[in-house]
Amino acid sequence: MDLVVARIVHVLSIVMWIGGVGFVTTVLFPLIRRSIAPDGRLAAFVQFESSFSGQARVSVALAGLSGLYMTWRLDAWSRFASARFWWMDAMVALWTAFALVLFVIEPLVVHPRLRMAMEVADSGRLFDRMERFHRIMLVLSLVAVLGAVGGSHGLWD
Ligand code: HEM
């Protein structure tokens, strides 16, 4: 029963989090690119995205806690050393990358840099780089979801 609850919390937080990354990457970036001149794009993006990053922090925390709980309950630690369970390593690697971005790099590095870039005139280039970064993270996230759903149901056995 507790495992089922942990799985529900895990999947719901991943739906909100990766769904948000999908929306930002496939809808918000293209919309801003189409409708705003290069110099104003970064400011527009930051305005919209800041409300998502708070929500993403909660989802990342819940996904990590529920994932660790399942690993402990299933006593699945040895999976991390087994190639058949590559998707367990993929989940943790992706989680670590997002947690670093949301809790460390974004507040300490990205926000001060964004403020500087908005004052000088290279904010369009930074917007392009951020769009590329989001595309890469979305593809990696989808691969991890594919691997984890397949793996939880025996596809890679
Ligand atoms: C600290 C990070 C994480 C840990 C420790 C963790 C651990 C787990 C565990 C133990 C399971 C259950 C496997 C089983 O029943 O055999 C699971 C399932 C799953 N995880 Fe994670 N996970 C983490 C992060 C993530 C991330 C970042 C994603 C998204 C890409 C993700 C997506 C999934 C999915 C889609 C399932 C399968 C749900 C199902 O089909 O029932 N997890 N995870």
Residue 56 alpha carbon to ligand 1 centre in Å: 17
Pocket test for ligand 1, best of 2, 152, 157 (most atoms within 8 A of CB): 152
Closest C-alpha to ligand 1, atom 43: 67
Pocket test for ligand 1, best of 91, 138, 142 (most atoms within 8 A of CB): 91
CA distances from 122 to 8, 87, 114 (A): 43, 39, 10
How far apart, in whole angstroms, are the C-alpha atoms of residue 147 and residue 43? 36
As averages over each run of 10 residues, the pLDDT of the chain (157 residues) reads 96 97 97 93 87 91 98 97 97 97 85 73 85 97 98 92
Closest C-alpha to ligand 1, atom 40: 149
What is the predicted pLDDT for the residue at 123? 81
Closest C-alpha to ligand 1, atom 42: 91
pTM: 0.92
Give the domain ranges of the chain.
2-152
Buried b (16+ CB within 10 A) or exposed e, 81-118: eeeebebbbbbbebbeebbebbeeebeeebeeebeebb
**Which residue stretches of the chain are H helix?**
2-23, 29-35, 38-73, 86-100, 111-119, 123-152
Model pLDDT for residues 146-157, shown as the tens digit of each residue: 999 999 999 998
Residue 120 backbone class (left: φ over 0; alpha: ψ -120 to 50; beta: rest): beta
CA distances from 18 to 11, 82, 94, 115, 119 (A): 10, 26, 11, 26, 31
What is the predicted pLDDT for the residue at 60? 97
How far apart, in whole angstroms, are the C-alpha atoms of residue 43 and residue 41? 6
How far apart, in whole angstroms, are the C-alpha atoms of residue 68 and residue 131? 31
Model pLDDT for residues 88-122, shown as the tens digit of each residue: 999 999 999 999 999 998 888 777 777 777 776 67
- As given in the structure block, the two tokens for residue 113 are 């840099």
